[in-house]
A and B are shown apart, each in its own frame.
Chain A
Amino acid sequence: MDLFPLFLTLKVSLVSAVFTVTIGLSLAWLAARCDFPGKWILDVIIMQPLVIPPTVLGYYLLVVLGKYGPVGRFLNDVFGITLVFTWKGAVVAAVVASLPLFVKPARAALEGVDRNLENAARLLGKTEWQIFRTITIPLAWRGIVAGAVMAFARATGEFGATLMVAGNIPGLTQTLPIAIYDAVQMGDTTLANTMVAIITMFSMSVLYFVNWLTRGKY
């Protein structure tokens, strides 16, 4: 069996999880702690991928990131980066699709931290960054980890948007879910079963690990 789709899926999921957590944590913090005009618009845009069909999301990304799209042309001209039909495109699709699954629990976790505790830390002479590191994150990490795992799992299973943006190029952009689709289409049930078993076991062990990790109080 060709292991490439498995490794590609892991690579795409891990890289996208890093981006999702970094971008998502800033967005969650902004949503939990700041008030600004147009906050609801940001809210709606972040949550959109949860309800919009993945193919529609993929189409949007294709238009924006494509050779003639505004972002795609900029990246190509300035940095020489092409996203469409590369594994990087799959990362972008995974990030956008998994962002709401991270932001929602992370925001709730940050909002659950008593603001009085942050004030107490301010009164003890701490800077905002020190407070974020030593008070907010340690008290909210459970929700943040839960969100990160959900985002990671979503990225592992991402299909529709990835297919639109990165395509189905074996050995280049073919992720595990797409490879499973291919195997089923070609009637190779043994291959499909193997890959399905791998992905199922993997998802279950990740969830078990998280449950084990987040036991205890803080």
Chain B
Amino acid sequence: MALSFSLKKRFRDFSFDIDLSIGEGITVLFGPSGAGKSLLLNMVSGIVSPDEGVVTIDHIDVFRSSEGIDMPIRCRRVGHLFQDYALFPHMTVYQNIAYGISRLQSSELRRRVGELMELMRLSGLRDRYPDEISGGQRQRTALARTLATEPRVLLLDEPFSALDYQVREKLRADLATIHERYPITMLFVTHDLEEAFIMGENIAVVNDGGLEQFGPRDEVFYRPGTRNVARFIGTRNIFSGRVSRVEEDGTVVLECDEMGEVRTAYGGRVRPARGAPATFAIRPEEIMVIRPDRPIDRRVRDNVLDGSVVSATARGTSHTLFFQTADGRAKLKIEMPNSAYRKVLPFMDGTISVSLKKESIWILPDARGE
């Protein structure tokens, strides 16, 4: 099963224009609030009409403005999960799930609904009303209700964002189970970075009504295509500079105002020209803090900067540090596990060194000439 679309819609102060083609599996639609993620889902399912464009599900056009095709919502066979569940409040869990199943013998209907209730761990809640069950149970009911109609595509609009952490983790596992059992195309909207990373085989980054980048998860996370993507995925350390030289082993040396010379393992296909502008980034968890009581390892000898820690914040399982170079020109955000943080804690007050591994520095493609 596959879903592809090309959608345009203009509002007074916002315009939407995205082309995308996704295959089976879970694709995460990631971006800040107001980027147009929900609008995209609503246009695919037909709740909102695009100004122009195409929506194709399994090679069947459900919308094609140039030929006047606009299939009614009920015929599109698109499953859509909403953040607020949209369960029918006057129906029980059983009635909600059975609602979309049409033309089935009553024994067959009971069997199907029973099967779905078991799959979604709802068996004991058959006769409860939506306001008598928990948030997680509601979303599972909504999921079972959608699956009962055997949709070709499943759209999930921040389905877990109203739920607490543990429930969310369980539901993610449920979704993975469902995906194994019903291999359908899923488009999962979230603005939560962690959730995007956990759920997505592929990630589409959306911003301001446009597509910033689309690709496999690791590519988007470790090789962001634009400054915006780098920002959204939490790469806070983004700098601009120029290519100063290329060494024999392929190391590209950049020159930037904040940090001076920075050595990078470029790895690109096209050799960058000397003097070309380059934007580069390093993820906060890739920066290493060097312990003064240990000799510098060969591996971390690239790009050593001296400075001090301006602030440190505990973030549950990790710590976030803000580091400033001795001359005060460069500021870096560093993230480290608590165990590592405890080891460097005694040296926090004095001068401290960090190292930017050249393999961890990513040069954004706008400067690569690719």
Residues of A whose CB lies within 8 Å of any CB of B are 114, 116-117, 119-127, 134-135, 138-139, 217-218
Query: Is there contact, CB below 8 Å, between A135 and B88?
Result: yes
Cα A87 to Cα B79 in complex, Å, equals: 54
Cα A50 to Cα B79 in complex, Å, equals: 46
Cα A119 to Cα B86 in complex, Å, equals: 9
Name the CB-closest residue of B to A135. B88
- 15 A–B contacts, CB within 8 A, in A order: A114-B86, A116-B86, A117-B86, A117-B88, A121-B88, A121-B99, A122-B47, A122-B72, A122-B74, A123-B79, A123-B80, A124-B146, A124-B149, A139-B89, A217-B89
Cα A126 to Cα B45 in complex, Å, equals: 14
Query: Is there contact, CB below 8 Å, between B88 and A116?
Result: no
Question: Which of A114, A125, A135, A139 touches B74 (beta carbons < 8 Å)?
Answer: A125
Nearest CB of chain B from residue A181's CB, rounded to whole Å = 45
**Residues of chain B contacted by A116 (CB below 8 angstroms):** 82, 84, 86
User: B59-109: which have CB < 8 Å to A?
Assistant: 72-80, 82, 84, 86-90, 99-100, 102
**Residues of chain B contacted by A121 (CB below 8 angstroms):** 88, 99
Name the CB-closest residue of A to B46. A122
**Residues of chain A contacted by B87 (CB below 8 angstroms):** 120
**Residues of chain A contacted by B46 (CB below 8 angstroms):** 122
Question: Which of B82, B102, B129, B131 touches A125 (beta carbons < 8 Å)?
Answer: B102
**Residues of chain A contacted by B89 (CB below 8 angstroms):** 117, 139, 217-218
Query: Is there contact, CB below 8 Å, between A125 and B86?
Result: no
Query: Is there contact, CB below 8 Å, between A119 and B74?
Result: no
Query: Is there contact, CB below 8 Å, between B90 and A218?
Result: yes
17 additional contacts (CB under 8 A) given A116-B86, A123-B78, A217-B89: A116-B84, A117-B88, A117-B89, A119-B47, A119-B80, A120-B80, A120-B82, A121-B88, A122-B74, A123-B80, A124-B149, A125-B75, A125-B100, A125-B102, A135-B88, A217-B131, A218-B89
Name the CB-closest residue of B to A123. B80
Residues of B whose CB lies within 8 Å of any CB of A are 45-47, 72-80, 82, 84, 86-90, 99-100, 102, 129, 131, 145-146, 149
Name the CB-closest residue of A to B77. A125
Name the CB-closest residue of B to A126. B74
Nearest CB of chain B from residue A124's CB, rounded to whole Å = 3
Cα A120 to Cα B87 in complex, Å, equals: 8
| A contacts with B: majority SS | helix
Question: Which of B73, B76, B100 touches A119 (beta carbons < 8 Å)?
Answer: B73
Question: Which of A124, A139, A217 touches B99 (beta carbons < 8 Å)?
Answer: A124
Name the CB-closest residue of B to A119. B47
Name the CB-closest residue of A to B82. A116
Query: Is there contact, CB below 8 Å, between A123 and B88?
Result: no
**Residues of chain B contacted by A123 (CB below 8 angstroms):** 45, 73-74, 76, 78-80, 146
Cα A125 to Cα B76 in complex, Å, equals: 8
Answer whether A120 and B86 are a contact pair too, CB < 8 Å, given A125-B149, A126-B74, A127-B74.
yes
Query: Is there contact, CB below 8 Å, between A139 and B90?
Result: yes
Answer whether A124 and B90 are a contact pair too, CB < 8 Å, given A116-B84, A119-B47.
no
Nearest CB of chain A from residue B158's CB, rounded to whole Å = 14
**Residues of chain A contacted by B149 (CB below 8 angstroms):** 124-125
Nearest CB of chain A from residue B110's CB, rounded to whole Å = 18
**Residues of chain A contacted by B82 (CB below 8 angstroms):** 116, 120
Cα A119 to Cα B85 in complex, Å, equals: 12
Nearest CB of chain B from residue A57's CB, rounded to whole Å = 38
Cα A134 to Cα B47 in complex, Å, equals: 19
**Residues of chain A contacted by B99 (CB below 8 angstroms):** 121, 124, 134
Nearest CB of chain B from residue A26's CB, rounded to whole Å = 22
Cα A126 to Cα B76 in complex, Å, equals: 11
**Residues of chain A contacted by B72 (CB below 8 angstroms):** 122
**Residues of chain B contacted by A139 (CB below 8 angstroms):** 89-90
**Residues of chain B contacted by A124 (CB below 8 angstroms):** 74, 99-100, 145-146, 149
Query: Is there contact, CB below 8 Å, between A122 and B86?
Result: no
Cα A143 to Cα B74 in complex, Å, equals: 28
Nearest CB of chain B from residue A118's CB, rounded to whole Å = 9
Nearest CB of chain A from residue B326's CB, rounded to whole Å = 56
Cα A67 to Cα B82 in complex, Å, equals: 59
**Residues of chain A contacted by B45 (CB below 8 angstroms):** 123
Cα A114 to Cα B82 in complex, Å, equals: 13
Name the CB-closest residue of A to B75. A125
Name the CB-closest residue of B to A124. B100
Cα A125 to Cα B45 in complex, Å, equals: 12
- Shortest Cβ-Cβ A-B pairs, 8 listed: A124-B100, A218-B90, A120-B86, A122-B73, A125-B74, A116-B86, A123-B80, A138-B90
